[in-house]
Amino acid sequence: MSHNMNIRDYKTQFLEYLEVEKQRSPKTIENYDRYLEKFLVWAKISDPKDINDDLIRNFRLYLNRFVGEKGQNLKKITQNYYIIAIRCFLKYLAKRDVKTLQAEKVEIGKTPEREVDFLENTEVERILDAAGGVNFKSLRDRAIMELLFSAGLRVSELTSINREKLNLKSGELSVRGKGNKIRVVFISDTASAALKEYLKKREDIDPALFVRDKVGLRQFESKKKENKDKSDNLRLTPRSIQRIVKYYALKAGIVKDVHPHTLRHSFATDLLMNGADIRSVQAMLGHASINTTQIYTHVTNPHLKEVHQAFHARRRKNKAF
């Protein structure tokens, strides 16, 4: 029966496999769906056996030459995402003994080294100081940014933390990262102090660690009335955290494009520049692969060279041959 299946039926089953067996996040599944859909619409094929070298090569050319509505090309890394999705799909088909192109024949293109945008320590301090008030919003926002920088959290990890999980005495916190993996992160003394001050201001019983302030609550209530927001909780969304971080970066006069992830980058860079080994940083960031963590060494290597020149080479200046 499976041999009469259309390629789209296989695609549906592949996405279900990612969800159930691979436990991928809804966002990842949504992306894979989009990449594969675009490929199938372009390819106009209905049978997996029609996927061959020529088809993949032509699709690559199509992606490389693609021009969007605003005249922009697809970034190399985005082009690669399409190819990665196709490869995973082909691997799944092979697992099911479906005749198609071997996944190994599809090579992933080389991408330029990722640029890591991070903040100097003085810039981090300026952003934190920009949230210097004593009202609910300032205390909450300061606690958010202190925790992002102290623990190197992803924004999705930060928003999903519940109050009961927070143990300020031990200075540790368990978070659920990508692939549902749990890891322990550490809360610095300054982050701990900021969290204490913020929690003193909490009057609600919502389980979420970070919740809306009065202005956010009013907007939330009006959205609920219009039935745009079906949720009943006060938890801040990743989008809200992005807006908060951007607001204080602008307020602090930082010219870089600052996101919550910039604080995560700054956390990792700070550790490596101060002598932490890459395996420890990998564990603290919750990276499944050391390759992901290695993007930070491109930032820290030039810095180490400067340190070497400043401290090591200086001692030899007076020695002439």
Q: How far is CA 179 from CA 27, 81, 97, 187, in A?
A: 12, 18, 27, 23
* CA pair distance 111, 113, nearest whole angstrom: 6
CA-angle at 102, arms to 99 and 103, nearest 5°: 125
Q: Which two tokens stand for residue 59?
A: 């699709």
- Decide if 303 is catalytic: no
Rounded CA gap, 86 and 35, in Å? 8
| 3-state SS class at 73 | strand
Which residue out of 178, 201, 251, 259 is catalytically annotated?
Answer: 178
Beta strands, E only, the chain: 172-176, 182-186
Respond yes or no: is residue 296 known to be catalytic.
yes
Catalytic residue, from 96, 137, 251, 261: name it: 261
Is 3 an annotated catalytic residue? no
Residue type, 224: K
* Tokens coding 8: 């789209």
- Residues 217, 201: Cα–Cα separation, whole Å: 15
Tell which phi-psi region holds residue 144, choosing left (phi > 0), alpha (psi between -120 and 50) or beta. alpha
Active site residue 261: yes
What DSSP string runs through 200-235?
HT--S--SBSSB--HHHHHHHHHHHHTTS------B
Dist CA 163 CA 9 (whole Å): 43
**Of 154, 198, 248, 265, which residue is the catalytic one?**
154
CB-based contacts of 142: which residues, under 8 Å, 6+ apart?
Answer: 128, 131, 132, 194, 197, 198
Question: Which sequence positions are flagged as catalytic?
Answer: 154, 178, 261, 264, 287, 296
